[in-house]
Structure 1
Amino acid sequence: MEKLLGFSNSALLASTGGLLVTILLAYPFASVLPMAGQIVAHIGTLLFATGIKVSYVARLVSLKQLGRPVH
């Protein structure tokens, strides 16, 4: 469970960073990207948001199994 906790923390951080980048590309910098780039940025926003949710649930499960407080 320690490995799952470490992996889920890393995945949570990476997904948050990816989400921020794709939001910036999809909205404020959309005029710089071609249409295909905008489509990829919008799809990336959905995928990274899903990654945040899945990694957070994995983090909660590992904390509960380790007997640590779940906030």
Structure 2
Amino acid sequence: MKQLLTMANTTLALFLVALVVTILIAYPLAAKVPMFGQVAAHIGTLLFATGIKVAYIVRLVSLRALGRPLH
């Protein structure tokens, strides 16, 4: 479970960075990105937000299995 917790924390951090990047591409930098890039950024925003939620749930499950507080 410790390995699962480490993987969940790492995945959570990576997806958070990827989400911020896609939000920056999709909104403030949209004028500098071609249409395909904008569409990909909007789709990426949805996928990375979902990935954050799944990684957080895995984190909670592993914390509970290890008997650690859920905060």
In the other structure, the counterpart of 1:53 is 53
Q: Which runs of 4+ in 1 moved over 2 A?
A: none
| Shift, 1:8, TM fit | 0.1
Q: Match of 2:62, as an amino acid? A: S
In the other structure, the counterpart of 1:29 is 29
Q: TM-score, normalised by structure 2?
A: 0.98
Structure 1 segment 1-71 matched on structure 2, within 5 A:
1-71=1-71
| Shift, 1:10, TM fit | 0.2
Q: TM-score, normalised by structure 1?
A: 0.98
SS in 1 for 2:46: helix
Equivalenced residue count is 71
| Shift, 1:52, TM fit | 0.5
SS in 1 for 2:18: helix
Q: Match of 2:40, as an amino acid? A: V
Report % sequence identity: 61
Which whole-Å CA distance do the structure 1 matches of 2:40 and 2:32 have between them? 14
Q: Which runs of 5+ in 1 are unaligned?
A: none
